Amino acid sequence: MSTAAEELYSLLVPLSEDRLIVPRACVAEVVRLSQLERLEGAHSWMLGTVNWNGRPLQVISFEGALGKEVPVTTGRTRVVVFYAITGKLKAGHFGIVTQGFPQLVRVNPDVLKLEAKDDWPEDVPVHCRVRMINEFPLIPDLEKIEAMLEREELQA
């Protein structure tokens, strides 16, 4: 049986065809997608910036970062605001568009197992895929996302 010290509160973040699983502590807030300000010349995964608490927040499509089609936004679209952990982003935060509200879950070694590394290409921001009961979420590489955003800032 797992102890409380081995449990981690996490969020299952719904994407168009997949889910991400991230530690709750990495997330500052979940907000409704507001008016995006597009950035000319940016990669297709870089959706633009939104006004978040009076400052610009870079928002990306995780699907787009995987080389897939960027999903259409709907009334259910949200932005998960992440803390920037590398210190390289000026804003200190970034957002990933979701297709609904993330679900809070508790994970422990009994329910979370490595499913596959999937041999992800080096430029894709994914650590691996895991099995969590009947779910198969991806663990994103948040540092790689920040590096991608930093390169976008330098090109702007």
93 in a structural domain: yes
Q: Which two tokens stand for residue 96?
A: 């990933």
67 in a structural domain: yes
User: Do the beta carbons of residue 81 and residue 142 sit within 8 Å?
Assistant: no
| Whether pLDDT at 2 is above 60 | no
Q: Convert the pLDDT of each residue in 80-139 to its tens digit.
A: 999 999 988 988 999 999 999 999 999 999 989 988 766 788 889 999 999 998 899 999
Q: Convert the pLDDT of each residue in 8-18 to its tens digit.
A: 999 999 999 99
63 in a structural domain: yes
35 in a structural domain: yes
* Domain span holding position 58: 7-105+145-155
37 in a structural domain: yes
Q: What's the whole-model pTM score?
A: 0.91
Q: Which two tokens stand for residue 14?
A: 């719904």
Half-sphere exposure of 66 (CA within 13 A, CB side): 24
12 in a structural domain: yes
- pLDDT for the residue numbered 142: 97
CATH number for the domain spanning 54: value is: 2.40.50.180
13 in a structural domain: yes
Q: Looking at 15-77, which runs of residues are DSSP E strands?
A: 19-23, 27-32, 46-52, 55-60
119 in a structural domain: no
Q: How many domains does the chain have?
A: 1
